[in-house]
Structure 1
Amino acid sequence: MIERFNSSVESNKNNAFEMPIFEIKDVLQDPEIENVIQSMRRDVFKSLGIDDAKSDMVMDQCLKFAKNYDDINEYEQAAHNILESEGVVDAIPEKLIERAEIIHEQIKKYLKDGLVLDFGCGDARLAQLIAKDGNEVQLADVYENPNVAKTGLPFELLEQGKDIPFEDNKFDNTLLLTVFHHSDDPIQLMKETKRVTKPGGRVIVIESVYDVDGKELSEDERKKSEEYLALSPEQQRRVNIFFDHFYNRVIHNSDDPSKKVNVPFNFNTPEEWKKLFDEQDLKQEEVVHLGPDQPTVPEYHTLHVLNVEK
Structure 2
Amino acid sequence: MSEELVIKNKYYRWSPIRFLVEKIIKDMNKRTVDFLEVFVQEGEKIIDIGGGGGWISQELQKRKNTKNTLLDVIDLNQTDLPLIIYDGENMPFEDNAFDTALLICVLHHCQNPDEVLKEAKRIVRNKIIIIENISTSRFDRITLCIKDAITNIIFCFLVNSLKKITNLPFHFKTVSEWEEIFDKLDLKVVYKKDPLPSVKSVHGIAFIVQKN
User: TM-score under structure 2 normalisation?
Assistant: 0.81
| Partner-residue secondary structure (3-state), 1:290 | coil
State how far apart, in whole Å, the 1-side matches of 2:72 and 2:28 are. 18
Query: Compared with structure 1, are the counterparts of its residues 300 and 261 closer, same or farther at alpha carbon in structure 2 (3 Å cutoff)?
Result: farther
The answer as to 2:173 corresponding to 1:244 is: no
The answer as to 2:135 corresponding to 1:210 is: yes
RMSD over equivalenced CA pairs, Å: 2.5
Larger Rg: 1
Query: How many positions carry a matched residue from both structures?
Result: 194
The answer as to 2:34 corresponding to 1:138 is: no
Which residue identity is paired with 1:304? F
- The equivalent residue for 2:32 is 103
Query: Compared with structure 1, are the counterparts of its residues 261 and 243 closer, same or farther at alpha carbon in structure 2 (3 Å cutoff)?
Result: farther
The answer as to 2:26 corresponding to 1:121 is: no
Residue 94 of structure 1: CA displacement? 3.6
Q: Identity over the aligned pairs, expressed in percent? A: 24
Specify which of 167, 172, 175 is matched with residue 267 of structure 1.
172
State how far apart, in whole Å, the 2-side matches of 1:251 and 1:197 are. 29
| Partner-residue secondary structure (3-state), 2:75 | coil
Which residue identity is paired with 2:104? L
Which residue identity is paired with 2:72? D
Which residue identity is paired with 1:203? I
Query: Compared with structure 1, are the counterparts of its residues 94 and 191 closer, same or farther at alpha carbon in structure 2 (3 Å cutoff)?
Result: same
State how far apart, in whole Å, the 1-side matches of 2:90 and 2:109 are. 16
Question: CA-to-partner distance for each residue in 1:253-280, whole Å, 9 max, x for gaps?
Answer: 567532x174211000112111211211
Question: CA-to-partner distance for each residue in 1:202-258, whole Å, 9 max, x for gaps?
Answer: 1000001011xxxxxxxxxxxxxxxxxxxxx11111111111112213664567532
| Partner-residue secondary structure (3-state), 1:273 | helix
Query: Compared with structure 1, are the counterparts of its residues 255 and 276 closer, same or farther at alpha carbon in structure 2 (3 Å cutoff)?
Result: closer
State how far apart, in whole Å, the 2-side matches of 1:188 and 1:180 are. 10
Specify which of 153, 172, 189 is matched with residue 284 of structure 1.
189
1:1-310 pair list within 5 angstroms: 87-88=16-17, 91-113=20-42, 114-132=44-62, 133-149=64-80, 153-159=81-87, 161-198=88-125, 201-211=126-136, 233-249=137-153, 252-253=156-157, 256-258=162-164, 260=165, 262-290=167-195, 292-293=197-198, 299-309=202-212
* Unaligned residue ranges in structure 1 (runs of 5+): 1-84, 212-232
State how far apart, in whole Å, the 2-side matches of 1:177 and 1:281 are. 21
Query: Compared with structure 1, are the counterparts of its residues 115 and 302 closer, same or farther at alpha carbon in structure 2 (3 Å cutoff)?
Result: same
Higher RCO (CA-CA < 8 Å; seq separation 6+): 1
State how far apart, in whole Å, the 2-side matches of 1:126 and 1:262 are. 23
Residue 111 of structure 1: CA displacement? 1.8
Alpha carbons 2:186, 2:211 under 8 Å: kept: yes
Question: CA-to-partner distance for each residue in 1:65-114, whole Å, 9 max, x for gaps?
Answer: xxxxxxxxxxxxxxxxxxxx994576323422222211011121112452
Question: CA-to-partner distance for each residue in 1:11-45, whole Å, 9 max, x for gaps?
Answer: xxxxxxxxxxxxxxxxxxxxxxxxxxxxxxxxxxx
Alpha carbons 1:175, 1:204 under 8 Å: kept: yes
User: By percentage of residues, which structure has more strand?
Assistant: 2
Alpha carbons 2:76, 2:161 under 8 Å: kept: no
State how far apart, in whole Å, the 2-side matches of 1:123 and 1:250 are. 12
| Partner-residue secondary structure (3-state), 1:268 | coil
* Unaligned residue ranges in structure 2 (runs of 5+): 1-13
